[in-house]
Amino acid sequence: MIRGAQAEDAALALLQRRGLELVARNFRCRGGELDLVMLDDDVLVIVEVRARTHPGFAGAAESVDARKRARLVAATQMFLLAYPHHAQRAVRFDLVAYDGNRAEWIQAAFDG
């Protein structure tokens, strides 16, 4: 089963195979953390990586609730302030969810 940093490594490899380019990893700020920041052509893609190993709990995708989404949006705003050359790009929020060893890449998982 994939967990933590392994899930991020696997998600990064998956997205790079699909043609996305890494901009930043584990960007931390007061508002939260961005697991992966990628470029998909000219779109800045904020990627949340989630892994769930216990089938009795909500799946990985369901674990990104409204509060977590708000923290991702706040951290994205801080990222854009820190790296203003990306500020004019469109932003997309994706999710790579691992339930056990199965990966699901959900593009535009939610709106910012």
Helices (H), the chain: 4-17, 66-82
Lowest-confidence segment of 60-64, 78-82, 107-111 by average pLDDT: 60-64
The CATH number of the domain holding residue 86 is 3.40.1350.10
- Of 27-31, 40-44, 96-100, which one has max mean pLDDT? 40-44
Q: Angle 87-73-86 (CA atoms, 0-180°, nearest 5)?
A: 15
The better pLDDT of the pair 30, 1 is held by 30
Owner of token pair 């089938």: 55
**Does residue 40 carry a pLDDT above 80?**
yes
Q: Report d(CA 83, CA 105) in Å as an integer.
A: 26
pLDDT, residue 5, reads 85
Q: How far is it, in rounded angstroms, from Cα 33 to Cα 103?
A: 21
- Average pLDDT of span 83-96: 96
Mean per-residue pLDDT over the chain, rounded: 89
Residue type, 2: I
Q: How many domains does the chain have?
A: 1
Pairing verdict, β 21-29 and 32-40: antiparallel
Query: How large is the average pLDDT for residues 21-34?
Result: 95
Domain that holds residue 101: 4-110
Supply the DSSP symbol for 64: -
Token couple for 77? 């705003």
Q: Which residue has the higher pLDDT, 103 or 75?
A: 75
Asked if 71 and 32 count as a contact pair (C-beta separation under 8 A), the reply is yes
pLDDT number for residue 99: 81
